Amino acid sequence: MGDIELELTRTIKAPAADVFARLADIEGHNEWMPTKGSIRRRSTQTSPGPPAVGTTYEDATVMGRIPGEIVELEPPRRLVYHWWDKTSSGRTKTEGWPGYTLESVGERETLVRHDARLRAHGTWRLATPMLRLMAQRERTAVLDALEKSFA
């Protein structure tokens, strides 16, 4: 108990390079990612330069500010973020690894495999069933918004 893994798929009517660029543009998330039905409110890149492994960011959420970084970047095929939430004393409560694998399925369509892993630490492991529901809803909302952003 404490680990959650999800995988969702969606076909997006856009070339893989365009979908990848949208997913990798951290501050661009503010234009298309959902705020209604989502815990995320705003994303800010906190390190300079274009997206790369090690690029840092901060999400403003309904639960506070949550830092993260890009941990895998293979344009236009694979992108993985890592975020973590800590207690006021600095202990990690939860952390997640939302990832995207893109595959061209035609000239103007991309199959997006969105895998997400969430780990709850300490007493937060007791909340795993609730966190699973929240993660499923959040990840579905992100894919819905991504698809809609290309419509």
Q: What is the pLDDT of residue 69?
A: 98
3-149 falls under which CATH superfamily?
START domain (3.30.530.20)
For residue 135, give Cα distances in angstroms to 4, 32, 49, 141, 147. 9, 19, 29, 10, 18
> What is the Cα–Cα distance from 59 to 72, expressed in whole angstroms?
18
Whether 133 shows a pLDDT value over 90: the answer reads yes
> What is the Cα–Cα distance from 114 to 125, expressed in whole angstroms?
23
Q: What is the pLDDT of residue 86?
A: 94
Q: What is the pLDDT of residue 144?
A: 95
* pLDDT tens-digit readout, 22-46: 999 999 999 999 877 788 999 999 9
Whether 5 shows a pLDDT value over 60: the answer reads yes
For the segment 17-26, the average pLDDT, to the nearest whole number, is: 98
Domain ranges in the chain are 3-149
The tokens describing 37, both together, are 């039905």
* pLDDT tens-digit readout, 83-118: 999 999 999 999 999 999 999 998 899 999 999 999
Which residues, including other chains, have CB under 8 Å from residue 133's CB and lie 6 or more apart? none
> What is the Cα–Cα distance from 27 to 39, expressed in whole angstroms?
16
Q: What is the pLDDT of residue 1?
A: 56
Q: What is the pLDDT of residue 56?
A: 98
Average pLDDT taken over every residue of the chain:
95
Burial grade of 117 (CB within 10 A; 0-12, 13-18, 19 or more): middle
Whether 149 shows a pLDDT value over 60: the answer reads yes
